[in-house]
């Protein structure tokens, strides 16, 4: 019997901007989770002249989907890169039949383009690279695209789980090899808007028609437990132990979405399996007593 870890219900209701006033935030798994599907809440930028002018210019009055992800303890450079990328992304218009590429729109992730050093997953560890952190843009983008029922053309999961979206709902990018791409098959233009407020990244797509109701589902196929590695540290006192890295469990997840159309028809779309490696807990030990 396969164990069900969670079924994440991320339903986004669309609405004409001027009518979307009743506040409500839903977070799968309870209010403590750092990811949220935003339903019928006025996002701060929706009252700004810049945004309203963009909506009028592009004729995209309907919020198709909105999603947020919070970084509770961002590493140095992480939020700077996320904020910079969000500002560059806001106002992007994807024409009908056009393919959006994050790397083409926001990359290359270099110092010359305003990015700083930030954290990046590499195998089973975290390293520092220029532009590290822009995967948060990709992950939130993946969610709003799925919730808008647009066609995803390319998406890659991280090598390890991330704390800001559920396993199976993340996306990673690496300029030149890994990208997040989608096709605008909505029949009209799509306006992308994104912004950070504190440590939270918000993103929304706007168009001309309301998408169907999309619900995420995940099933755990396998849990991959962390393990402990001990390293000798002569700088510690005899018998002393110090945790250098907490370690992280891995998981194998199967994901799918259900799409419910206004006429009552329901469709299931399989999204495949994602493998997230565990990483070891590293403990430093001093000399023997």
pLDDT of residue 119: 64
Q: Would you say residue 268 lies in a domain? A: no
Whether 245 contacts 202, CB under 8 Å:
no
Backbone angles phi, psi at 113, to 5 degrees: -100, 10
Q: Would you say residue 282 lies in a domain? A: no
pLDDT of residue 23: 28
The burial of 80, by beta-carbon neighbours within 10 Å (0-12 exposed, 13-18 middle, 19 or more buried), is given as middle
Whether 217 contacts 256, CB under 8 Å:
yes
* C-alpha distances in Å from residue 252, one per residue of 156, 217, 228: 14, 14, 21
pLDDT of residue 129: 73
Q: Would you say residue 270 lies in a domain? A: no
- DSSP labels for 129-155? EETTTTHHHHHHHHHHHHHTTPEEEE-
pLDDT digits (tens, 9 = 90+) for 144-200: 999 999 999 999 999 999 989 999 999 999 998 999 999 999 999 999 999 999 989
Where in the sequence is the domain holding 28, given as residue range(s)?
Answer: 15-210
pLDDT of residue 132: 75
Q: Would you say residue 219 lies in a domain? A: no
pTM of the predicted model as reported, rounded to 2 decimal places: 0.85
pLDDT of residue 105: 97
Under-70 pLDDT residues of the chain: 1-32, 39-40, 119-128
Domains held by the chain: number: 1
């Amino acid at each position: 019997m396969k164990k069900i870890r969670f079924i994440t219900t991320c339903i986004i209701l669309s609405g004409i901007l001027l009518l979307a006033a009743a506040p409500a935030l839903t977070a799968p798994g309870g209010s403590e989770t750092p990811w949220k599907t935003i339903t019928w809440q006025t996002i701060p930028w929706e009252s700004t002249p810049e945004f309203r002018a963009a909506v009028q210019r592009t004729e995209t009055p309907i919020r198709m989907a909105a999603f947020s992800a919070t970084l509770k303890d961002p590493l140095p450079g992480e939020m700077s890169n996320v904020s910079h990328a969000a500002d560059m992304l806001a106002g992007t218009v994807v024409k009908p039949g056009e393919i959006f590429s994050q790397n083409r729109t926001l990359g290359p992730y270099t110092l010359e383009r305003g990015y700083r050093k930030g954290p990046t997953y590499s195998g089973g560890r975290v390293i520092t690279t220029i532009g590290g952190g822009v995967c948060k843009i990709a992950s939130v983008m993946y969610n709003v695209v799925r919730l808008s029922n647009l066609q995803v053309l390319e998406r890659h999961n991280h090598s390890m789980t991330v704390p800001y979206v559920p396993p199976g709902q993340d996306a990673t990018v690496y300029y030149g090899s890994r990208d997040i791409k989608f096709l605008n098959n909505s029949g009209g233009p799509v306006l992308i808007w994104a912004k950070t407020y504190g440590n939270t990244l918000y993103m929304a797509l706007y168009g001309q028609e309301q998408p169907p109701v999309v619900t995420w589902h995940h099933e755990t196929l396998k849990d991959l437990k962390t393990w402990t590695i001990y390293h000798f540290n002569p700088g510690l006192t005899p018998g002393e132990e110090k945790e250098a890295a907490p370690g992280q469990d891995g998981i194998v997840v199967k994901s799918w979405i259900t799409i419910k159309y206004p006429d009552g028809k329901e469709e299931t779309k399989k999204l495949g399996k994602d493998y997230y490696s565990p990483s070891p807990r590293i403990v430093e030990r001093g000399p023997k007593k």
